[in-house]
Amino acid sequence: MASVNAIKDDGDRTSLIYNPVVRGIVFQCVVFFGILALIYWFVQNTLDNLARAGRNISFGFLNERAGFDIGQALIPYSSDSTYTDALQVGLLNTLLVAAVGIVTATLVGFIVGIGRLSRNWLIRKICTVYVEVFRNIPPLLVIFFWYLGVLAILPQPRDSINLPFGSLLSNRGLSIPRPVWGEGAWLVGLAFVIAIAMAIFVARRASARQMATGQRLPVLWINLGLFVGLILLAMVVTGFPLSFDVPVLGAFQTSGGFAIGPEFLALYLSLSLYTASFIAEIVRAGIRGVGRGQSEAAHALGIRSGTTTRLVVIPQAMRIIVPPLTSQYLNLTKNSSLAIAVGYPDLVSVGGTILNKSGNSIQIVAIWMVVYLTISLLTSVFMNWFNTRVALVER
Amino acid sequence: MKHIATGIISAAILSIAATAASAATLDDVKARGTLKCGVNTGLAGFAAPNDKGEYSGFDVDYCRAVAAAIFNDPNKVEYTPTSAKDRFELLANGSIDLLARNSTWTLSRDSSLKFNFTGINYYDGQGFMINAKKIPGVNSALQLSGAAVCVQTGTTTELNLADYFKANNLQYNPVVFEKLEEVNAAYDSGRCDVYTTDQSGLYAIRLSLTAPDDHVVLPEIISKEPLGPLVRQGDDQWFDIVKWVGFALVDAEELGITQANVEEMKGSANPEIKRMLGGEANSKFGTDLGLSEDWVVNIVKGVGNYGEIFERNIGAGSPLKIARGLNALWTKGGIQYAPPIR
């Protein structure tokens, strides 16, 4: 500011051109209007060229009949449904594999990351090999490995491998028994909800009590007892309203039960295991980033090793871990578009079919971009919120 | 991934290009010195790279015939391998001049996609192939309820399949891939029980499987699949050229003009042959099209007539051994029929 004032002092003698304030404003205006003009030119040119090519960009085609079937649909869908329905099926499939993948990748990542810091030589080395193998292979190859290298060489459905609980594994995927809830099952659900509420209450009371008296309650055992007891009680009262629809071998594939296709399995396993290797490194970096003095101090106070990790090291590591973790979650979601390589009907795959069938490439590409942008931004918003919760509180 | 890139690139082209390439495709092709032709990524007999990396096949010969008509050199073709999904986008955005990729002529492709099919070079129909070893006792598509069906996405096949199984109240599980090679690999590994595509394609694909003899093509044909080359709408001259190159191939077969005898046929007394080969005095057929007067001579010398192209690539002279069937000339019990050159 001082320099500006210094120049302003003899401002009467200099012209406006040499006035840094005026200059700044002028240049910013020029850049601003320049960018605006460029955007206008892009949009206008696109519209002109589209009009000249006789292609309009309305989204009306989305209400037309789709005409094609989709192998895995979470909502009712047939070839009579509209393109919009098809896109929804694709979107849900993307969200499904991303959500399940993120949970698995986080669990595996944390276990492997902590494992790399283990004092046990074997665990440490296994975790290192895992990270180095998966981190250094392109995700597409990992997907192909699972799809063509593992799942495709499983036996035909009629020679399915029998797994525990009547599950069947073949090259058509994994069929597991599907729980069928009978009459009065809502009571069991209600018992579950009540158990959750009571568990939260117990945990709150226990920590309040610890704060006040220093005595600790066995919260875990109390809550476990609550869950098992309440649900069992509800089951007995309603006469066990739960049966299982066990998959059986059919003419071509298994029927009944809940079938998980090899496309989903390949994609899910690849994305989780691939991303887990990055998360493991982030976790390791986070834990290493906490000063050694912190755990030494905790030990000096006589706190046990497990408790030290849980209450001293991890909370401080989290503020290092969470920001890069967000990027990994976004990567996993975006990598799920590799689904197309194995024919998993995700948003990109279904959208591509519509693009080809209707010829509305610009609209479909726009929908893809908007949807992925929205998913990514929502993930970021959530993770930022989470980050502020674990961030270091400076006093 | 490719179609995403295609979509984005075409969006980019549309936003940056000051003027869209319009009208005279022929001038562009001549100025460039090569014809840009979109073909299949690999379908034995129709379009596939040989061991030297050169494309050959039934559809490829249509590209070569057009190049021969324009440049008197069938080799002046730049091939763009196209997937079922990105083929139309590549043609629409001008990346290719001509698409000869076993594509079915349908109303919506003519109207809403704004293309012009230049004729039918192969009358086909959709069929089913199964592994008779793995699922014995199946001899009709109506026994396929509950089967997993491998199909290529973005094709009329995918839609016919949905219609056929729905009309016959059969259940099925579609396993959908973008590229032919991916469908082949999935079917060969046993991921699906059934492979469905055009029957000509099934015969070609069967040869590339691990044990071709285990597989049988079921008798049902569930659709009409008239395959042919196509161009963008809005350039009538270019449309005419590609259309008449196709007709000339069929007319040449009908008149017995072959790659071997075309030079001596030039001296034929038959006025029809004379007219076709540009031997008529003050003839303007070729120049009116925007080509040279001996355009038919160049085509036939370059690639042969329709029958020769058929036999060489997919007929008796090829491993596919597809019978002419519907694709025989109209004079021989088929429906291949071309308007006269006059």
- Backbone phi, then psi, for A149, in 5-degree steps? -90, -30
- Selecting from A42, A262, A357 the residue whose C-beta is nearest the C-beta of B191 gives A262
CA separation for the pair A39, A4 (Å, rounded) = 34
CA separation for the pair B130, B187 (Å, rounded) = 9
Q: Is A362 in Cβ contact with B11 (below 8 Å)? A: yes
Q: How confident is the model at residue B1 (pLDDT cuts 50, 70, 90)?
A: very low
Q: Is the pLDDT of residue A57 over 80?
A: no
Residues of B in contact with A356 (CB under 8 A): 3, 84-86, 88-89, 153-154
**pLDDT, tens digit, 9 for 90 and up, residues B156-205:** 889 999 999 999 999 898 999 888 888 998 899 888 999 999 988 898 89
Per cent of chain A over pLDDT 90 is 37
Q: Give the max Cα distance, chain A.
A: 97
CB atoms within 10 A of CB A249: 16
Q: Is B89 in Cβ contact with A361 (below 8 Å)? A: yes
Q: Where are the alpha helices (DSSP H) in chain A?
A: 2-9, 20-52, 83-115, 121-135, 139-144, 185-213, 219-238, 262-288, 292-300, 305-308, 314-335, 347-358, 361-390
Q: What mean pLDDT is predicted for residues A364-392?
A: 90
Among residues B294, B258, B129, which one has the least CA distance to residue B205? B129
* List of residues 6+ apart from A335 with CB closer than 8 A: A139, A271, A274, A275
CA distance B147 to chain A (A): 5
Q: Is B3 in Cβ contact with A356 (below 8 Å)? A: yes
CA separation for the pair A221, B147 (Å, rounded) = 49
Is A238 touching B (CB cutoff 8 A)? no
Q: Is A263 in Cβ contact with B11 (below 8 Å)? A: no
Sign, CA dihedral A348-A349-A354-A360, equals positive
Please name the residue that has the structure tokens 């290009």.
Answer: B17
**pLDDT, tens digit, 9 for 90 and up, residues B270-303:** 999 999 999 888 888 999 999 999 999 999 999 9
A123, A279, A319, B120, B180 from A289: Cα distances, Å: 21, 15, 10, 69, 50
Which residue does chain B place closest to A335, by CA atoms? B1
**pLDDT, tens digit, 9 for 90 and up, residues A183-233:** 777 888 888 888 889 888 888 888 888 888 877 778 888 888 888 888 888
As a dihedral over the C-alpha atoms of residue A306, residue A308, residue A314, residue A320, rounded to 10 degrees, the angle is -140
- Selecting from A71, A148, A251 the residue whose C-beta is nearest the C-beta of B185 gives A148
Among residues B175, B165, B173, which one has the least CA distance to residue B141? B165
In a mutagenesis test of the B interface, which of A83, A267, A361 is the best target, namely the one with the most B β-carbons within 10 Å? A361
A253-267, B8-22, B152-166, B256-270: least confident range: B8-22
Residues of B in contact with A343 (CB under 8 A): 153, 175-178, 182, 186
Q: pTM of the predicted model, to two decimals? A: 0.75
Residue A329, both tokens: 């979650």
Q: Tell me, what's the pLDDT at A170?
A: 82
Partners of residue B8 on adjacent β-strands: none
Q: How confident is the model at residue B19 (pLDDT cuts 50, 70, 90)?
A: very low
Whole-complex ipTM: 0.71
**pLDDT, tens digit, 9 for 90 and up, residues A245-295:** 777 777 677 777 778 888 999 999 999 999 999 999 999 999 999 988 998
- Selecting from A69, A148, A364 the residue whose C-beta is nearest the C-beta of B174 gives A69
Please name the residue that has the structure tokens 């500006």.
Answer: A4
**pLDDT, tens digit, 9 for 90 and up, residues B63-95:** 999 999 999 999 999 999 998 878 999 999 899
Which residue does chain B place closest to A46, by CA atoms? B15
